[in-house]
């Protein structure tokens, strides 16, 4: 069931929704106020670590593979280092910098306006398809292209077609080639299919993707292998492996953001005249977290705090953990669901949905949970429960007469 | 020149290995000065000049050219509470092509968070950001035969660069320094920056005369006294630098004497002249925000008002930190009226205003 009115779904009154909005605004203001040296040190340290990983990975592969005995261990270690570098760069650094999370530092080297990330998708297109389309219209059917990325059917409201039978295969392909799927994302396959895309714009975007993609491919599959001389094949395979590592990992993390059970979809009626507070509410209902330790959160770009990220996409990611405590409290206070669980369960649910929805609706059942019911103490009080109304007639009666 | 080209080519080839980053992004892991993505400098020494002023000796990194003209200023960006804050200061050292360092002299202003930080809080070894020298308040080439410097407080810094240049040349060629009269106002002798060096220069050069005025005890300079201090002031090229009221008074005095053309001023704030833009709607494409503005509001101010995280530096058109891509529309440079309207043109948001509708990529 897609939600057409979040307020009705959550049983909150107008006043309660606005109050929730104010409380979230207050959380935001507090974090903005407290950003400082330690946050700046965090992102700078992370960037340093990520670049050292890159250097270490490349050197291990170029030098280590030259000896017969060190060849295999060097290839494994090098591919792992490179994979970690790419994951860190794409998730905790690139994605978050491009959201403008670090713009407050006023450092042009770490700024959303000129960060270019280490993947085939040009930053400019990402900022449109992700920061604007996905974050503004989160989980609204027909608006948010991240519901299935134009290739998968991820909501029961999306019409089934026999082509969906291939979903398990498309899914596997998307996971393996995730970098390239993301690269084409802003082209908006849905609109191209419907013939709504401006051909000039499409050409410009394609040229941009081609240019960036070519540089990425040259680097990993031509230049570095060439530098390895006789061992070019080993380096090429190791580089491909590191790209695959990053692809599978980022695919899995991203599929845990909005596809586990409990992350709701919305119809376009919901976004009509939507207030800021209702937008917050939709972000909370449409996103899902996963649990884990600090290392897991860093390696997933703190997207395990997807709910917090969607509420405050441009607050520094290292603060999401502390924000999540506050958001959870608010969810309890207002009887709102807060979807979370261990990574394997969240991804398992997303995978199950992909499989289920490859079939027509009538052959499967919905896994979405029931709408929240207001707990007893928050329910509107009946007259019997309220303090007695004033019975006596006050002075205003006399003066009116 | 050939060496330069091959070096650039070498770096270009390096970029194939580091794309989408620049080789500099990795090289600066080895030495923080080995990057010219943003100009950098390392604080080598903080030399106290007076109780509240200090000279910073800065070793600039890659991409710096030591060919500033004496009198020009540079932008300096320092991270305070995680955030880069920018100010401009006159370079007080003379230009040297074989130079390794530059110096700026800073006075901690009351309420001036950054200037106090520069004077008191900057440890040697700190990496700062720099912006290339700018400014028209410079010693002409060749220097005029007769000059008058009218200086108040920390306004001495650009003039000091000029004096040091004249001094160095005189030594190198064993010639005499041109005829220079300097009038230097400072509240007290203790607060007089470069006091000792000026004494020394005055002793060494017979054509240099320095008048010192301690305004706390002797009062401000009355410009009518100029006839006594420097009877031939009308025949001199005059360079004035100091607080705004002082410069306003001097301007009036020189204009009344019909000598406006011979007066050169340095003000430490931006004056936006020009016609202004016409105003219009500015759209910030990536953040999906737009704002209606008048022709006097800079694109930077408009963005900040709309809640866009705009990059900024000096806010006076020197450091280029605020540069963004103009996707469509026209903006006008408020300093000179120049218009920019090429699609995807880079514009400095701190000194441009909208002319009709325009869209920026941020």
Q: What is the pLDDT of residues B24-59, one digit of tens each?
A: 999 999 999 999 888 999 999 999 999 999 999 999
Confidence at residue A382, expressed as pLDDT on a 0 to 100 scale: 54
Confidence at residue A390, expressed as pLDDT on a 0 to 100 scale: 47
Asked if the model's pLDDT at residue A385 lies above 70, the reply is no
Of all residues in chain B, the percent with pLDDT exceeding 70 is: 95
Cα separations (Å) of B41 from B78, B199, B250? 10, 31, 36
H or E element that contains A191: helix A189-193
Tokens 């106290």 locate to B48
Burial class (CB in 10 A: 0-12, 13-18, 19+), B342: exposed
Q: Which residue in A has a C-alpha nearest to residue B28's C-alpha?
A: A48
Query: Is the ipTM here above 0.90?
Result: no
**Chain A residues whose beta carbon lies within 8 Å of the beta carbon of residue B362:** 112-113
DSSP, residue by residue, B49-82: EETTEEEEEEEE-TT--S-PPTT-EEEEEEEETT
**Chain A residues whose beta carbon lies within 8 Å of the beta carbon of residue B287:** 100, 131
B311-360 pLDDT, tens per residue? 887 777 766 778 898 988 999 988 778 888 887 788 889 889 999 899 99
* Among the partner residues B81, B313, B361, nearest to A37 by beta-carbon distance: B81
Q: How far is B83 from chain A (nearest CA, A)?
A: 4
Domain B37-134 CATH superfamily: Translation factors (2.40.30.10)
Asked if the model's pLDDT at residue B9 lies above 70, the reply is yes
Confidence at residue A354, expressed as pLDDT on a 0 to 100 scale: 97
Average pLDDT, chain A: 91
**Chain A residues whose beta carbon lies within 8 Å of the beta carbon of residue B361:** 113, 124
Q: Which of B39, B285, B304, B309 is the best substitution to test chain A (most A C-beta atoms within 10 A)?
A: B309
User: Cα–chain-centroid distance for residue B66?
Assistant: 14
Mean pLDDT check: name the lowest of A44-53, A75-84, A104-113. Answer: A104-113
3-state class of B112 per DSSP?
A: coil
Mean pLDDT calculated for residue range A225-240: 97
Asked if the model's pLDDT at residue A264 lies above 90, the reply is yes
* Cβ contact B20–A212 (<8 Å): yes
Asked if the model's pLDDT at residue A326 lies above 80, the reply is yes
Mean pLDDT calculated for residue range A41-62: 98
**Chain A residues whose beta carbon lies within 8 Å of the beta carbon of residue B38:** 107-109
Chain A and chain B share a number of CB contacts under 8 A equal to 89
Question: Domain map of chain A by residue range?
Answer: 6-333
Confidence at residue A90, expressed as pLDDT on a 0 to 100 scale: 97
Tell whether B290 is within 8 A of chain A (Cβ): no
Asked if the model's pLDDT at residue A10 lies above 90, the reply is no
Confidence at residue A384, expressed as pLDDT on a 0 to 100 scale: 58
Average pLDDT, chain B: 89
Task: Kindly indicate the confidence band of residue B271, based on its pLDDT and cuts at 50, 70 and 90.
Answer: low
Confidence at residue A369, expressed as pLDDT on a 0 to 100 scale: 82
A151-165 pLDDT, tens per residue? 999 999 999 999 999
3-state class of A185 per DSSP?
A: helix
Confidence at residue A290, expressed as pLDDT on a 0 to 100 scale: 98
Asked if the model's pLDDT at residue A398 lies above 60, the reply is no
Mean pLDDT calculated for residue range B149-169: 94
Q: How far is A284 from chain B (nearest CA, A)?
A: 21
* A86/A83 Cα distance (integer angstroms): 5
Mean pLDDT calculated for residue range B216-236: 93
Q: How far is B30 from chain A (nearest CA, A)?
A: 11
H or E element that contains A296: helix A294-299
Percentages (nearest 5) of helix, strand, coil residues in chain B:
30, 35, 40
Asked if the model's pLDDT at residue B1 lies above 50, the reply is no
Tell whether B116 is within 8 A of chain A (Cβ): no
Task: Kindly indicate the confidence band of residue A232, based on its pLDDT and cuts at 50, 70 and 90.
Answer: very high
Mean pLDDT check: name the lowest of A172-186, B61-75, B138-152, B326-340. Answer: B326-340
Mean pLDDT calculated for residue range A29-48: 96
**Chain B residues whose beta carbon lies within 8 Å of the beta carbon of residue A48:** 29
* B227/B222 Cα distance (integer angstroms): 10
Phi, psi of A191 (to 5 degrees): -75, -35
Q: Give pTM, 2 decimals.
A: 0.87
A338-381 pLDDT, tens per residue? 999 999 999 999 999 999 999 999 999 988 887 776 554 555 55
Asked if the model's pLDDT at residue A397 lies above 50, the reply is no
Confidence at residue A400, expressed as pLDDT on a 0 to 100 scale: 41
Q: What 3 state SS string does A200-263 have?
A: HHHHHHHHHHHHHHHHHHHHHHHHHHHHCHHHHHHHHHHHHHHHHHHHHHHHHHHHHHHCCCCC
Confidence at residue A395, expressed as pLDDT on a 0 to 100 scale: 43
Q: Which of B286, B288, B307, B322 is the best substitution to test chain A (most A C-beta atoms within 10 A)?
A: B286
Tell whether B203 is within 8 A of chain A (Cβ): no
**Chain A residues whose beta carbon lies within 8 Å of the beta carbon of residue B309:** 100, 103-104, 112, 314
Tell whether B354 is within 8 A of chain A (Cβ): no
* Cβ contact B362–A116 (<8 Å): no
Confidence at residue A273, expressed as pLDDT on a 0 to 100 scale: 87
Confidence at residue B287, expressed as pLDDT on a 0 to 100 scale: 82
Task: Judge: domain B146-266, CATH 3.90.1570.10.
Answer: no
Q: How many CB atoms lie within 10 A of CB A395?
A: 7
Q: Domain B280-360 adopts which CATH fold? A: Ubiquitin-like (UB roll) (3.10.20)
The CA angle A307-A308-A310, to the nearest 5 degrees, is 65
Q: Is the Cβ–Cβ distance between B184 and B154 less than 8 Å?
A: no
Confidence at residue A337, expressed as pLDDT on a 0 to 100 scale: 94
3-state class of B228 per DSSP?
A: helix
Mean pLDDT calculated for residue range A202-226: 96
* Cβ contact A112–B83 (<8 Å): no
* Among the partner residues B25, B288, B324, nearest to A113 by beta-carbon distance: B324
* A226/A292 Cα distance (integer angstroms): 40
**Which neighbouring-strand residues pair with B19?**
none
Asked if the model's pLDDT at residue B267 lies above 90, the reply is no
Mean pLDDT calculated for residue range A129-148: 91
Confidence at residue B176, expressed as pLDDT on a 0 to 100 scale: 86
* A151/A251 Cα distance (integer angstroms): 14
Mean pLDDT check: name the lowest of A26-30, A167-171, B99-103, B212-216. Answer: B99-103
Task: Kindly indicate the confidence band of residue B275, based on its pLDDT and cuts at 50, 70 and 90.
Answer: low
B180-203 pLDDT, tens per residue? 999 999 999 999 999 999 999 999
* Cβ contact B286–A127 (<8 Å): yes
Q: How far is B234 from chain A (nearest CA, A)?
A: 47
Task: Kindly indicate the confidence band of residue B4, based on its pLDDT and cuts at 50, 70 and 90.
Answer: low
Tell whether B359 is within 8 A of chain A (Cβ): no
* Cβ contact B82–A48 (<8 Å): no
* Cβ contact B286–A131 (<8 Å): yes
Asked if the model's pLDDT at residue A294 lies above 90, the reply is yes
Taking phi over 0 as left and psi of -120 to 50 as alpha, with beta for the rest, A195 belongs to: left
A→B interface, C-beta within 8 Å: 35-41, 48, 51-52, 54-55, 58, 100, 103-109, 111-113, 116-118, 124, 127-128, 131-132, 136, 212, 215-216, 218-219, 223-224, 314
Confidence at residue B273, expressed as pLDDT on a 0 to 100 scale: 52
Of all residues in chain A, the percent with pLDDT exceeding 70 is: 93
Q: Which residue in B has a C-alpha nearest to residue A128's C-alpha?
A: B286
């Amino acid at each position: 069931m897609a939600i057409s009115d979040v307020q009705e779904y959550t049983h909150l009154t107008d006043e309660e929704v606005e109050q929730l909005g104010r409380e979230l605004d207050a959380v935001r203001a507090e974090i903005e106020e407290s950003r400082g040296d330690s946050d700046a040190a965090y992102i700078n340290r992370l960037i340093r670590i990520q670049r050292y990983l890159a250097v270490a990975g490349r050197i291990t592969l170029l030098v280590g593979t030259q000896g017969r005995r060190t060849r295999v261990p060097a290839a494994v270690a090098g591919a792992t280092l490179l994979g970690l570098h790419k994951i860190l760069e794409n998730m905790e650094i690139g994605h978050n910098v491009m959201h403008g999370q670090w713009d407050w530092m006023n450092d042009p080297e770490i700024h959303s306006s000129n960060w270019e990330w280490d993947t085939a998708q040009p930053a400019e297109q990402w900022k449109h398809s992700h920061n604007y389309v996905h974050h503004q219209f989160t989980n609204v059917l027909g608006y948010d292209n991240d519901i299935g990325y134009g290739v998968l059917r991820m909501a029961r409201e999306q019409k089934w077609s026999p082509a969906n039978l291939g979903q398990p295969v498309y899914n596997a392909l998307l996971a393996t080639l995730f970098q390239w799927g993301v690269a084409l994302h802003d082209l908006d396959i849905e609109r191209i299919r419907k013939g709504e895309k401006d051909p000039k714009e499409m050409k410009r975007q394609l040229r941009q993707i081609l240019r960036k993609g070519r540089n990425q491919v040259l680097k990993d599959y031509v230049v570095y292998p060439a530098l390895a001389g006789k061992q070019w094949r080993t380096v090429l395979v190791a580089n491909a492996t590191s790209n695959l590592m990053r692809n599978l990992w980022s695919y899995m993390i991203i599929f845990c953001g909005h596809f586990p059970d409990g992350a709701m979809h919305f119809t376009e009626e919901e976004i009509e005249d939507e207030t800021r507070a209702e937008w917050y509410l939709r972000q909370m209902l449409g996103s899902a977290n996963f649990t884990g330790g600090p290392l897991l959160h860093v390696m997933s770009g703190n997207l395990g705090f997807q709910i917090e990220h969607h509420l405050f996409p441009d607050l520094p990611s290292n603060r999401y953990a502390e924000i999540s405590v506050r958001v959870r409290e608010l969810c309890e206070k207002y009887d709102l669901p807060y979807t979370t669980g261990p990574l394997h369960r969240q991804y398992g649910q997303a995978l199950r949905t992909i499989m289920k929805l490859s079939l027509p609706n009538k052959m499967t059942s919905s896994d979405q949970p029931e709408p929240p019911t207001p707990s007893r103490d928050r329910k509107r009080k009946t007259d019997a429960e309220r303090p007695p109304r004033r019975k006596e007639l006050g002075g205003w009666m006399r003066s009116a007469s | 020149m050939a060496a330069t080209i091959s070096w650039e080519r070498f770096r270009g080839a390096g970029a194939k290995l580091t794309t989408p980053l620049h080789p500099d992004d990795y090289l600066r892991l080895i030495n923080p000065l080995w990057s010219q993505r943003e100009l950098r400098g390392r604080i080598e020494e903080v030399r106290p000049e007076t109780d509240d002023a200090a000279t910073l000796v800065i070793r600039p990194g890659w991409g710096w050219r030591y060919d500033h003209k004496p009198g020009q200023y540079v932008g300096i960006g320092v991270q305070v509470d995680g955030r880069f804050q920018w100010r401009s200061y006159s370079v007080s050292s003379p230009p040297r092509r074989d130079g390794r360092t530059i110096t700026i002299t800073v006075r901690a202003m009351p309420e001036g968070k950054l200037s106090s930080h520069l004077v008191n809080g900057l440890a040697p070894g700190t990496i700062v950001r720099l912006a290339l020298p700018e400014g028209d308040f410079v010693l002409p080439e060749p220097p005029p035969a007769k000059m008058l410097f009218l200086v108040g407080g920390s306004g001495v810094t650009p003039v000091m660069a000029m004096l040091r240049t004249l001094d160095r040349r005189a030594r190198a060629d064993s010639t005499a320094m041109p005829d220079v009269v300097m009038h230097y106002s400072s509240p007290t002798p203790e607060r007089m920056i470069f006091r000792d060096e000026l004494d020394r220069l005055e002793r060494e050069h017979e054509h240099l005369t320095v008048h010192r005025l301690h305004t706390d005890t002797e009062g401000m300079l009355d410009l009518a006294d100029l006839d006594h201090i420097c009877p031939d002031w009308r025949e001199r090229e005059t360079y004035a630098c100091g607080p705004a009221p002082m410069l306003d008074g001097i301007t009036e005095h020189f204009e009344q004497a019909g000598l406006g053309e011979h007066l050169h001023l340095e003000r430490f704030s931006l004056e936006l002249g020009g016609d202004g833009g016409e105003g219009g709607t500015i759209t910030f494409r990536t953040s999906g925000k737009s704002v209606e503005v008048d022709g006097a509001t800079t694109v930077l101010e408009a963005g900040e008002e709309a809640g866009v995280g705009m990059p900024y530096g000096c806010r006076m058109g020197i450091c280029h930190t605020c540069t963004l891509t103009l996707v469509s529309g026209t903006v006008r440079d408020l300093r000179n009226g120049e218009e920019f309207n090429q699609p995807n043109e880079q514009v400095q948001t701190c000194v441009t205003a909208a002319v009709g509708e325009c869209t920026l990529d941020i």
